[in-house]
Amino acid sequence: NAGVTQTPKFQVLKTGQSMTLQCAQDMNHNSMYWYRQDPGMGLRLIYYSASEGTTDKGEVPNGYNVSRLNKREFSLRLESAAPSQTSVYFCASSGDRVNYEQYFGPGTRLTVT
């Protein structure tokens, strides 16, 4: 039982390049989330998927797209990377609407030069 896995762990992009961050969970959770963490800003929600087949914008969606490929997988795509997207990206999942606990992956550290 791996929980939430993310690939890659590190990535360096040049401005204008594209890439997809992958996330998978093996806990049979319905909901999945993408966050970015920046110094002094906490964790900010980029996009989320409340259930398979649905996606919605979070607080900071501009410059990103997402795909809920199936119940297990939720990917985040940067179509044209910008230096402002340099950040640590976390994927999370949850299945419990009673205590709302989310389980996080280990993160992807992205640098855009």
63 part of the interface to other proteins, by CB under 8 A = no
Pairing of strands 56-57, 42-49: antiparallel
Smallest distance from other proteins to CB 27, Å:
13
Smallest distance from other proteins to CB 101, Å:
5
Smallest distance from other proteins to CB 47, Å:
11
**Site pattern 84..103 for other proteins (x: CB under 8 A):** ------x-x-x--x-xxxxx
Structure tokens that stand for 96 in this block: 């419990």
Q: What angle do CA 8, 14, 16 make, to 5 degrees?
A: 105
What is the spatial distance between Cα 30 and Cα 7, in angstroms, rounded to a whole number?
20
Q: Using CA atoms in the order 15, 18, 82, 67, what is the torsion angle rounded to 10 degrees?
A: 180
Residue entry with tokens 């890659």: 8
**Site pattern 4..43 for other proteins (x: CB under 8 A):** x--------------------------x-x-x----xxxx
Among 50, 52, 61, 73, binds other proteins (CB under 8 A): 50
